[in-house]
Amino acid sequence: ALLESLRGITPDDHPCAEGQLRQLAHDVVQEVPQDERLDQEAMFELEQEIYEELLRAKVQRAQDEAQHLQQLEDVQNEEDCALFEQHLLPGVHCPLCGDGRLQNDAGELRCSDCEEMHVTLMDELLSLDDIFEQLGDAE
């Protein structure tokens, strides 16, 4: 029961240096009532077992945290790669759908992704950057 209560301890509740884990295990063994205490060797073995369990829990928490951080880093990397690939596409970013690229297709402005964006250009010499700014302002 004491060990179960210790599993609920978070790193914020108690620092987890190795010496402190040993002290915590020793303190738990000392909490056993006098009439239920075992001989000295059994008490030491119990203390060692509690210490090893606490150490395993600490290592598991560290591994879980490292795995979570790696997952966050992987998601961020995927998003960054998608953004970079988007940047490499010809044309400029579509302000309507947010995913496609605007291209001047023989006097007609089209988006590579959305069906909504297809407009005949009055001035075919207008640059895509200017068109992008004007659409952004209009939006």
pLDDT tens per residue, range 39-61: 778 878 888 888 888 888 889 99
Number of independent structural domains in the chain: 2
For residue 6, name the pLDDT band (cuts at 50, 70, 90).
Answer: low
Residue 79 and residue 115 in one domain: no
Task: Please give the model's pTM, rounded to 2 decimal places.
Answer: 0.50
Mean pLDDT (whole number) for 73-99: 83
What is the dihedral sign for C-alpha 72, 77, 80, 81? negative
Mean pLDDT (whole number) for 107-116: 80
72 found inside a domain: yes
31 found inside a domain: no
Lowest mean pLDDT among 41-45, 62-66, 99-103, 115-119: 115-119
The closest alpha carbon to 97, from 84, 112, 86, belongs to: 112
CA distance 28 to 46: 10
Domain that holds residue 113: 92-137
> Residue 55 in contact with residue 45, Cβ under 8 Å?
no
Residue 108 — φ and ψ, nearest 5°?
-120, 130
